[in-house]
Amino acid sequence: MASSRLYTKVDEKCWSIIYSPQYDMKICGLEKIHPADSCKYQHIFEHLKKAGMLTDKNHAVPLEANEEELLLAHGKSYLNSLKHLKKAGMLTDENHAVPLEANEEELLLVWSYNVMAILEAPFILLIPNYFIQRFVLSKFRYHVGGTVLAGKLAMERGWAINIGGGLHHCSGNSGGGLCPYADITLCVYMVQKNFSQVKKVMIIDLDAHQGNGHERDFMDDKSIYIFDMFNSSIYPGDREAMKGITLPEKLSSGTDDSTFLNLLERNLEKAFKEFSPDFILYNAGTDIMAGDPTGLMEISDKGVIKRDELVFREAYSRRIPIVMVTSGGFQRRAAAVIGDSILNLRDKELITIEPWPEFTHSKDGNES
């Protein structure tokens, strides 16, 4: 049975919650130029520590995904496009000033146009790609490692939450919308590869934005059922990717709690009538919250907490392994809402340190 370096062993006394200090963006203060909360993940973790749920030692810590692992979900040319302009096709041997005999290290000093476009951060162009790889993209590779590890823990214990992850605008060959790597796609591939009992996977995407990355990757894969409920009037408006959605629910700007939660309950019932998954990946973006300038919806803090509870209750009642990733939503108060939602799942006993009652432990996915 194949395994993965990213499937590290996690002590049974630890919560199935994955976090690394490497998740947060801190680049010599330049991150303050971007409107997003660059320390969202640390704030979630600190919220759970303050509540007495987590400590520095009772959660899972991911490894950084390397290129070999990323190639399971990405094309080589796309990964090269994140490195330097020549490999991205913007430069040729004739139209740049770098000597043709330059080595890889020298080429990594050129500017990062593709990364700038994906992360929507113009200041990226001020920083040589070598530093972008080390201080920016490496952060996202830790998120990928966390989502992959969450897949293993969910198969062993019933559930797992990656405090990061949810890069749902990235497909195998294209990034966008602050998403340079396809962690959702890679997690699904790895679970299907390493756990023979996983034949069918349901992706529940409740971020405010359409999950066009995983939709493109699984467009023709009948083993993947995608339920995506999103504001259809905002980014990305990817009509081609919409063909990959099994159950779409298009929302409007200004959608409130009552409308959102009623539609969610109705669609969850429909989804599980139509499909019986062996694994669920839940993309739980908080950009649906009122006040988020990118989601343009009006869901209250309590609405977000209720949303997550509804999804976990469906998984728990059926004992279907579920991974939750936190995805979009970078208002300052989003971290506390995510933390409170996790605490609510604990208080409702939908997540516990021990494996779910009557949950069958997997025999596959050996640790490396």
Determine the pLDDT at residue 108. 44
What does the pLDDT look like over 283-341, one tens digit per residue?
Answer: 999 999 999 999 999 999 999 999 999 999 999 999 999 999 999 998 999 999 999 99
pLDDT tens, 155-210? 999 999 999 999 999 999 999 999 999 999 999 999 999 999 999 999 999 999 99
Q: Quick check: is 84 catalytic?
A: no
Contacts of 240 (CB under 8 A, 6+ apart): 216
Strands 17-18 and 159-162, sheet pairing:
parallel
Q: What is the pLDDT of residue 348?
A: 98
Of residues 287, 300, 279, the one with CA closest to residue 328: 287
**Of 3-17, 311-325, 350-364, the least confident:** 350-364
Q: Which 8-state DSSP code applies to residue 362? A: P
Poorest-pLDDT segment among 9-18, 114-123, 168-177 = 114-123
Average pLDDT for 265-272: 98
Question: pLDDT tens for residues 42-60?
Answer: 999 999 999 999 999 999 9
The domain locations on the chain are 37-85+108-348
CB 157 within 8 A of CB 352: no
CB 39 within 8 A of CB 57: no
When the candidates are 3.40.50.720, 3.30.1300.10, 3.90.1640.10, 3.40.800.20, the CATH number that belongs to 37-85+108-348 is: 3.40.800.20
Given the residues 59, 84, 143, 169, select the one marked as catalytic.
169
pLDDT tens per residue, range 132-153: 898 899 999 999 999 999 999 9
- Give the whole-angstrom CA distance, residue 224 versus residue 81: 28
